[in-house]
Chain A
Amino acid sequence: MALSGGKDSITLLHMLARLKKRLPMRLSALLVDEGIGGYRPKTAQVAKKECRKLGVKLHVISFEKEFGRPLDKMLGAKATKTGTDPKAGKGGSGRTDKRQGACTYCGVFRRHLLNAGAARLGADKLAMGHNLDDAAQTVLLNMFRNEPARLARFWPASRAAGGKKRFVPRIMPLIRCHEKEIATWAVLNGIQIEFMSCPYAEEAMRQQVRRLLNEMEERYPGTKSRMFNAFIHMGPWLAQGAAGEEEGGLRECVKCAEPSASGMCAACRLLDGIRKKR
């Protein structure tokens, strides 16, 4: 499973560790250290502690070791700790042009390493801690950005990419649970969780979408579930359309052989860009 040390993945770790006692399965945790100063070391500490407590082996894989530099250096700016304050954020985030796109780099490289890391471990499934809020936000974000192909790729990838070499199918056991429900479960069960935000998170449009969806959910309870259900119903058509556009959906990257929607994967394209800037 992918473990970040945040509430969702820690809760998932506890649930899978419980299931492991009853089912014939092996469980390992994979943590990606992006190299975000003031943030990742704290959450990694929580992840290590919880894994030790539950007897789950933790594997750490880092941007620095795999790509030659941590995220902070990739962006040419060091992360500040302001984002860890839950009250900071609605106002000015003090972001710079250099820090814009942090989520793009991070998301692409993290997905790349999680798949590669899971494949190296011989995993046949990669469990992710995504919740209903994440899913509803992703659907809406891709609509706002007019990115139907990206939205199509969010539809159960294991089905769309079945049989592709090196692709470890992802499962999302918490996908129908509200983020608040997960957090509440964690509080009720006395799970130690660092409730902190990534210092780059506030610059993302996702935060605005999160607030918008929460307002809608308050006013019209069930909004997030209905949005996700609509997406699941639309999924087959979306995936079919995307596969047609991309001549067959996922394939292997010509450079690193990791799964890719085009000839060269997004991680290799971004790395090429970083190397050219040096």
Chain B
Amino acid sequence: MHMVRILLDNKPRTLRKMPPDGRELMRQLGVSAQEAVLKVDGRVRPEGTVLGPKNKVEIIRVVFGG
């Protein structure tokens, strides 16, 4: 089966298929959209950005508290 790879906090994660958009991807990863930034092909994008299997997708958690 073809898998897709994304980066979460600079660490690779493998998914069965790319979720339709950044918000759904964050939901699947258990990351709050309020606490993370979505990068698509190296650029910061809104969470609602549509994703495709060829996109280089990165989630960076930026809100850790304290």
Contacts and interface: CB of A to CB of B under 8 A. Distances in A.
Nearest to B27: A218
A188 B36 CA distance: 13
B64 A86 contact: yes
Q: On chain B, which size bracket covers the interface?
A: 10 to 19
Contacts, number: 57
Contacts of A186: 62
Contacts of B62: 7, 180, 183-184, 186-187, 195
B12 interface: no
B37 A218 contact: no
A200 interface: yes
Contacts of B66: 83, 196-202
B44 interface: yes
Nearest to A178: B34
A188 B44 contact: yes
B9 interface: yes
A201 B65 contact: yes
**Residue among B32, B33, B37, B62 with the highest chain A CB neighbour number at 10 A:** B62
B61 A187 contact: no
B60 interface: yes
Interface of chain A: mostly helix, strand, loop or mixed: helix
Contact of B37 (A133, A184, A201, A207): A184
Contact of A180 (B9, B63, B65): B63
Interface in A170-189: 178-180, 183-184, 186-188
Interface string A209-231: 01100110110000000000000
A183 B65 contact: no
Interface in B49-66: 60-66
